[in-house]
Amino acid sequence: MTKTACITGITGQTGSYLAELLLQKGYQVYGLKRRSSSLNTDRIDHIYSNPNLKLVYGDLSDYSSLAGLLKFKPDYFFNLGAQSHVKVSFDVPEYSFDVDATGVIRVLEAIRQHSPTTRFLQASSSEMFGSSPPPQKEDTIFHPRSPYAVAKVAAYHAVVNYREAFDLFASNAISFNHESPRRGETFVTRKITQAATRIKLGLQDKLYLGNLEAKRDWSHAKDVASAMIKIIEADSPDDFVVASGEMHSVREFAEVVFDKLGLNWKDYVKVDPIYFRPSEVDALCGDSTKLRTTLGWKPEYTFSSLVDEMISSDLENAQKEKILKDNVCKVKQ
């Protein structure tokens, strides 16, 4: 029989890769989509016509829409929906908690009440480790440093509690940073690849960044999506770190990107304190031994191939933008 999966956050970066992978495996996929004033389905437009994909309006702040999804009695429920921007969470702390923490309890309750055999996966975050020094793994102490991270810690514990209290198949994928050409433009990696490629083509002069010394463990979002499938398909529910195990600073990321484009980053990158956070997470580097040894996960991408793919995609975007701009100039002449 065809297996069914629900995904919240399907219009987001990682949700779009997850949907692709599940459709390739022959799943019927139900995606929760929030209403927005303009279309925001760019990341899933290429799979939109797949007959096995159905989008349903709803929101993690709205219990009834979540319960409505559970009426499909899906085999799997992947919760990737979130206000996922750490800096923005300082500006909208209450909203971030409502969606990222209470929203998870809403889903778990809906599962408990309407479809207790549905397997649940929570997109937990390395941000939960905060100021605990690297390497971080499943038993590292949480020390959250932002409203986003506080909410993710609450959600993590809710997942463990529903597993223990109600015997739900509920797991946490504790993912470290993951990126791709589909990454939102205000996250640092994409901000850098987009700006550097625009600078290369003369469309931009400077790139303003915040803390260049922060260190992160960057993977490809597609590799993380495949880890999520392995975690939900495991014999028993559990919590797993998903990480590359390699750490680079923001400064290094910028240096590598500009270098691959034949530019010196120092000529273009400026620091603007507006991008500093009230409390920063200095260094994250995950130890994913448990996931690799027990579930056999192995990433396809390296740091270098991730950066190459992001540069090549943004270079193509910049080339299209330049052609458009040049044509407008010709029309005006």
Question: Which of ligand NAP, ligand F7E, none interacts with 186 (beta carbon under 5 to 8 A by kind)?
Answer: ligand F7E
Q: What are the structure tokens assigned to 107, written together?
A: 């889903």
Coil/strand/helix, residue 78:
strand
Helix/strand/coil for 327: helix
- Work out which of 114, 161, 187, 246 binds ligand F7E, going by CB under 6 A: 187
Q: 104 with 8: CB under 8 angstroms?
A: no
211's contact among ligand NAP, ligand F7E, none, with CB below 5 to 8 A by partner kind, is ligand F7E
How far is Cα 63 from Cα 202, in angstroms, rounded to an integer?
A: 48
Contact between 84 and ligand NAP by CB under 6 A: the answer reads yes
Question: Is 95 among the residues that bind ligand F7E (CB under 6 A)?
Answer: no
Which one of residues 4, 5, 6, 8 is an interface residue with ligand NAP (CB under 6 A)? 8
Contact with ligand F7E (CB under 6 A) among 3, 41, 161, 275: 275
Buried b (16+ CB within 10 A) or exposed e, 80-108: bbbbbbbbbbeeebeebbbbbbbbbbbbb
Total residues binding ligand F7E (CB under 6 A): 22
Tokens of 307: 């950066």
Contacts of ligand F7E in 115-144 (CB under 6 A): 125-127
Q: What is the DSSP string of 80-91?
A: --S---HHHHHH
Contacting residue, 5, 6, 11, 158, with ligand NAP by CB under 6 A: 11
Pairing of strands 76-79, 178-179: unpaired
250: contact with ligand F7E by CB under 6 A: yes
Q: Which residues bind ligand NAP (CB under 6 A)?
A: 8-9, 11-15, 32, 34, 36, 40, 59-61, 80-84, 99, 123, 125, 175, 177-178, 184
Catalytic positions, written as ranges: 125, 127, 148
